[in-house]
Structure formats: C-alpha cells, structure tokens
Amino acid sequence: MLKATPTDQNKPSLENSLPAEDFRDALNLVNILLLTWKNFSLYPEGHTAVIKALENLMASFDHYFTHHSALRLRVKKNQLLCETTVLYEVSPDTFSEDLLSILYRDGIQWLEFIQGLCLDELVCFFSVLNRYKMLVEESEGDVVTGLTDGNLTHIDFRAVDVFWENTPIMDFSSLPTPKPSTGEHVPEDARSIKDADKHEISAKSIADPSISETLWEISPAEIEELQEMVREEESWDNTEDVLDVLLVILRSQTDQYNFSSVLDFTLEEAVEAIRQDEFELLLDLFQSLNQLLYRDTDEEFNWMRPLIERFFQDISHPEVFNLITGKLKSLNEGDTEKLLVLREVLLHFSPSTIHSLGPVILQTRFAAVQKMIMGVIEYMCLRDMGPMEILLDHPDKKLGEMLLPLLSRLRGERSTRIFFKMSEHPSEKVRRKAVKVLLARDPQVAIKLFPFLDDPNAGIRKDLLAVIAKQKSPVLENMLLKYLQENVDNKDTKHILACYKTLGCCGSDKAIPFLRRVLLDKGWNRFIGLGKPLHREGAAIALNLLDSQQTKSILLKASKSRFRVIRDGYHRAMTKSDSSGEGTNG
C-alpha cells in the first residue's frame, strides 16, 4: 500500500507557491480525494462505503469551490503538486495501484477539477481509473482514452503519449547460455555462432518481432512462482496501511468538516478490522484516537473532541458491536492472547454495549471468557451504571446470579438504585444479596425494605429481622406492631415467633399493651385470632426481652393463670429463652 510520508505530505515544500490558507484547502481536498480512491478500489462500485465516500468528496469539492474556482494538480513520478507545492508524496517502490502511480504511468501531466463539477463526473473519473488500474496484456484502452471518451466537462487534463518503443533496451548478455540436451555434442564453431546470436539479440528491443518466442518460455517452477505471487496479491490485506494513512491525515487536520469526513472513513475501516479479526489494529487505532481526544489543543480546535466521542458512540451501535459479540462466543480457554487484546479493545467502547455483552456470559461455557467480560462490564459501570440497570431486566435469572460478584463491588448512589432494582429480581439468590448489601450500607433502609418480611425466601426475612432487631426505631416498632396485628394468617411458625422476638429487641413500652392482650386475654378460648397458643408464646418471648417491671408482672401473672393455654405459652417461651441463653424473668 502506498503511504504518504507525514513530514512530506502534510507540510509545504521549500518552494511553496501557495498562501497558507490555499495550501490548507488544497491539501484537505487531496486527502479526501485519495481516501475516496481507496474505497473505490477496495469495494464494488455500488457498495455503501463507496457511495458515502463519493458523497463526502462531492461535499468537499463544493466546500472548496466556495473560495476557489478550480484545483489543478501537477503529476510527477512520486509527487502530486499544486503549482510548485507538494501535496502528496510517496516512495519510489510504492504499490502500482496508487492513484498517483496510475496517472503518471499513463502519461497524465496535470489534472484539473473545475467549479461546476458534479457527482456523475466523479463517478466516471474513478470508474475509469479503476478499470485501467492494472496493466493488462492487449488492453483495449487506457486512462487517457477513458477520460477522453467520458466527455468530462469539469475535469480537464493534459497527457503525453507513452509507447513500448520508449522503453530502454534490455541487456540479456548476462543470461547463461542454454545447455544442450543430454548426449548432444555442440561443435565449437556452433557454440561461437550461438554466442554471437545472443549478443545480437541482446542489442535489440524486446518489441522486435524477429526474436524467437522460445527465448521467453517460462519453466514450470517459474509458473508456480508467478501463480503464488498472484495468490498473495489477491489475498493482500491492506487494512493496516489504510488505517495508518487515516491516522496521519487526522493528526494533521485543522478543518472541522474534513476531520469529520476522515473519521467517517476511519469508522468504515474499523468495522472491516472487526470483521477480519484484526483486533490488534483496532486497539492501535483506538489508542491513537484517545491520544487525540485527550491531548492539549487550542480552543479553536475544541470541535475535535465531540467528533471523536461521536466516533466511539457510532462504533458502539448494536449493528456494529454484535460483530464483536459473535467473536466472543467463539473464543475458548486457549485463546489467552486474543482475550487480552479483546479486553483492551472492549474497554474503549461505550457503556451502552453492556446490553449486548451481558448475555454473552450465558452463551459461553468458558470461565476465562466469562471473567474477562465481567471485568469489562465492571469497568464500564464506573463510567455509567445506567445500562446495568436495564441489563438486570434480562428474563434469564441465571444472568443476575452470575453478575453477583460484580454487583457486590459497585459503589455510589447510583449503585444503591441498582441494588433496589435487584431486590425485585426473580432469583432468590439475587434478591437476598441485594437486600443484604443495602442493609449493610445503611441499616435504616430497613424501613423501605420492610415489605420483604413477606418474601418467599426465609433467608431474606431472617436478614431483615436481624437488622431491625438492632435498632430502637419508633417507626420500625409501629410497622412491626401493625404487621403482627394484621398479617398473622397463613404465616410460617418460625417467622411469626421471629417477629415477636424482634419486637422485644427493638420495641419500647408502647408495645406492652398489645403484648399483654395477646398473652392474657381470652384464655378461655384458645382458637380465636391472636389468642392462639403460637401468638401467646411469641408475646411472652417479646415481653421477656423488653425486661421491665411491668413486663415481669405480666409474665408472672401468665405463669399462674388458671387457663392452661396461657400457662403453656409462657412455659414454652421461657424454655426457648433458657436454651438460647437469654434467661427468664419469671
């Protein structure tokens, strides 16, 4: 691939005949012209990349013609000039399909684009170049003929004739004399004649028809070598070269419009790099763009940052990023180096890609791939946790469980909202983790989580009651009293007793009338409401934990009650208090 030398391509020559502003305008336009040719030579004519490139070039010409009437480019062997100023320069060994090489090869001395140029003329211009970019034996035309036949009103040029006869005579005297066949004797006189013929042939032009065709016969080994060269040429991957040129141009751009156009080309090449699994190239590109993004620039170039940020947003769109998720699914434990490169690449994408990354954790069975993705998602959450909130709505509850190690490390106010969302997750494991984290961060959040006393998971209920028990909160006391009065039907036995025990730990004298009524009232009827034996036992446990003179008096009365159901409730409570080490007050 042809590469323009940055120091030569992007600065005026010593004989700069253009004012600084004219030089900048011409250089920007030539850069867009060269990029358009790259796309035209890489993709079919109707490809979206070609169409977009042509539209960008046409817009660039329109922009140029607002200040200039024409752009004349002088064609030298290795240089493209405007007047005497070098706009583009390549090394002598450059690949022959470069725009400059094609123009020079077919004898074009200068090329001029004139105001009034239209898109159809540009399409014709590039089509002609593309048609004759390779030298083909017995070709029926060349670039000059094609451009002439195209009747391009606003593209003018001057060319000189190029013939084979102008090619320097080739000296074949250094070639070895063909060996005679086995057993064949060549007389000395014949050998001298042959040497003389050889010297005579070497002095002739290769176009001389009198030369025998047998001299040009190619051996089978040479044919195979040529075929291998053709195969290498056909499979040639020039993505790296194109990206190198694009970065050179981006670093030198001072015009916002042209910078944006070049970034559009860069996006196309970045997508191609993803398709071809060239993630090291992609990483180099991303790192270079980030250097441009965060470098110190004058205020007049502040427009550059939002354009680069837009680039990363565009490449993070699902239609592009899904190409990467497809690659991730095909990785295995042995792809260690590729995993490391992909991790660095993924860190540059927008956090919005969390939506696509998360499900991949379920779609790969390799722990190394899962771990890498989890690390990337965690990093992205530091930039924006919003996509994680949406990811938690994923219908597969297993995903939420797999994200638990990551979620437990989240910090900040935004993470609290995520944990509240997790507390409603269909997975009991996820819900318990969320409730546990929230309670650990702020015990007073138990007021908001109080409805979880009815969660189907016993562990969640236990964790919540344990935190409530450690607080002397009038609000929680009132909520617990109301809960025991209104939500006693069809509850788990252990849970009801745990609620009474919690009330005894966090309650105050305000709870005593309620507990006295539950323990002592209607002793003659053991089947009505709160008078059931279970609730009498629970009330006795709570009164014992409140530990006041008033509660001791109530418990003493219960121990001597003439109703057996009251005495039984008391004795069961005291037995459990003794076994738990809490002691008795009766």
With a CB cutoff of 8 Å and minimum separation 6, the contacts of 197 are: none
Residue 503 located in a structural domain: yes
> Of 162, 188, 209, at which residue does a domain stop?
162
Q: Are residues 10 and 156 in the same domain?
A: yes
d(CA 420, CA 437): 10
Residue 230 located in a structural domain: no
Residue 87 located in a structural domain: yes
Q: What is the pTM of this model?
A: 0.54
Q: Could you tell me if 1 and 34 are in contact, meaning their C-beta atoms sit under 8 angstroms apart?
A: no
**541 is in which domain, residue-wise?**
473-586
Q: Are residues 31 and 138 in the same domain?
A: yes
The single residue listed with the structure tokens 């190198």 is 244
Residue 492: DSSP 8-state = -
> Of 249, 283, 315, at which residue does a domain stop?
315
Q: Are residues 139 and 278 in the same domain?
A: no
Q: Are residues 121 and 268 in the same domain?
A: no
Q: Check residue 3 and give left, alpha or beta (phi > 0: left; psi -120 to 50: alpha).
A: beta
Q: Could you tell me if 447 and 476 are in contact, meaning their C-beta atoms sit under 8 angstroms apart?
A: yes
Which amino acid, 492? D
Residue 446 located in a structural domain: no
Q: Are residues 47 and 152 in the same domain?
A: yes
Closest CA to 248 of 273, 268, 266: 266
Q: Are residues 139 and 263 in the same domain?
A: no
The single residue listed with the structure tokens 């080490």 is 581
Q: Are residues 54 and 140 in the same domain?
A: yes
- pLDDT tens series, the chain, 586 aa: 333 333 343 444 435 667 888 888 888 899 899 888 888 887 777 777 788 889 889 999 998 999 899 999 999 888 899 888 888 888 766 555 678 888 888 889 999 999 999 999 999 999 888 888 776 544 567 888 888 888 888 999 898 765 444 444 444 444 455 555 455 555 555 555 445 554 454 445 545 555 555 555 667 776 677 666 655 544 545 677 788 888 888 888 788 888 888 888 899 889 989 998 899 999 999 999 988 887 766 777 788 889 999 999 999 999 899 999 988 988 887 788 889 999 999 999 999 999 889 889 888 888 889 889 999 998 998 888 888 888 887 778 888 888 877 877 777 777 888 888 888 888 898 899 889 989 998 999 999 999 999 999 999 999 999 999 999 889 999 999 999 888 666 778 899 999 999 999 999 999 999 999 989 887 545 444 445 788 899 999 999 999 899 999 999 999 998 888 888 889 998 987 766 655 444 3
Backbone phi, then psi, for 11, in 5-degree steps?
Answer: -135, 155
> Of 290, 315, 340, at which residue does a domain stop?
315
Alpha carbon distance, N-terminus to C-terminus of the chain: 96
Number of domains in the chain: 3
Q: Could you tell me if 328 and 369 are in contact, meaning their C-beta atoms sit under 8 angstroms apart?
A: yes
